[in-house]
Amino acid sequence: MKILISNDDGINSEGIFALAESLSEIAEITVVAPLMEQSAVGHAITMQIPLRVTKSYKEGKFFGYAVNGTPADCIKIGIRNIMKEPPDLVVSGINHGSNTAINIIYSGTVSAAREAAIMDVPAMAVSVTNHDVKDFKFAAKLTKLLAKEIAGKDIPKGTLLNVNVPDVDENDIAGIILTKQGKSKWDDIYEQRIDPYGRDYYWLTGNLMEVDKEIEIDQVAIKKNYVSVSPIHFDLTDYETFKKMKTWNIEHLLNGKKN
């Protein structure tokens, strides 16, 4: 099995080290990850500047390829130019911090896995629910189990798994549960400050407003110490509203030009 590994925290982060170590026990791994931290870059791709690929080392040994771009860039160039052919699986992570509910939209970790799904490669994004992660060991071990599980299953092309692991002792993990994306959102606050030159600047902060209650929702599951596994895709069409809007007869806007 060949696995391409990436992340959004950058190639020199603890989470990707733990992931690479664990997955190398079951597969031939290739690491292609951002040179610099790329948290909250969403599904950005780099078109305005050229990309550079450099070799990256860990304790004097070759670890992987660093790219001066985004997580999605890493997957594209990793598959097209570095691996030359698609791997059996792409795993993005292990992220420092959860990617549930609305955070999936902003997440660089998820975008790497989603880019793989766009390229018809099975993929998963893995996150631990704490920015200051105590221990990646359990998440790394679980990812290995899930990688083997996915290998034997028929996940539809274009679908990826978004996995969130509570940052608690393995003995305190309640179980593993299939979930849907939650509806919790951030109540954004821009802290207004004044720089040493007397000019205003703004830092984004805020609180996640938790609105979901069902255990089959990602954000609820992790709060109850369950590992959360959500199948997600990149078809953004709102089919219900599509049906409803049929009754609008929008063609009247163009004065009788019928479609």
Build a one-symbol-per-residue string for 131-170: x at contacts with a copy of itself by CB under 8 A, - elsewhere: -----------x--xx--x---x-xx--x-----------
Q: Which of 190, 207, 209, 214 binds a copy of itself (CB under 8 A)?
A: 190
Any bridge partners for residue 30, and if so which? 4
> Could you say whether residue 42 binds a copy of itself (CB under 8 A)?
yes
Q: Is 2 in the site for a copy of itself (CB under 8 A)?
A: no
| Least distance in angstroms from the C-beta of 117 to a copy of itself | 10
Q: How many CB atoms lie within 10 A of CB 136?
A: 25
According to DSSP, the residues that pair with 161 across neighbouring strands are: 124, 231
Q: Of 20-28, 89-97, 105-113, 121-129, which segment contacts a copy of itself by CB under 8 A?
A: 105-113
Asked if 102 is part of the footprint of a copy of itself (rule: CB under 8 A), the reply reads: yes
**Nearest to 225, CA basis, from 119, 129, 120:** 129
- Nearest to a copy of itself of 213, 259 (CB atom): 259
- Kindly compute the dihedral angle of the four CA atoms of residues 153, 158, 161, 162, in this order, to the nearest 10 degrees: 180
Residue 40 within binding range of a copy of itself, rule CB under 8 A: yes
CB 66 within 8 A of CB 11: yes
Q: CA nearest 23: which of 112, 114, 124, 115?
A: 124
Q: State yes or no: residue 62 binds a copy of itself (CB under 8 A).
A: no
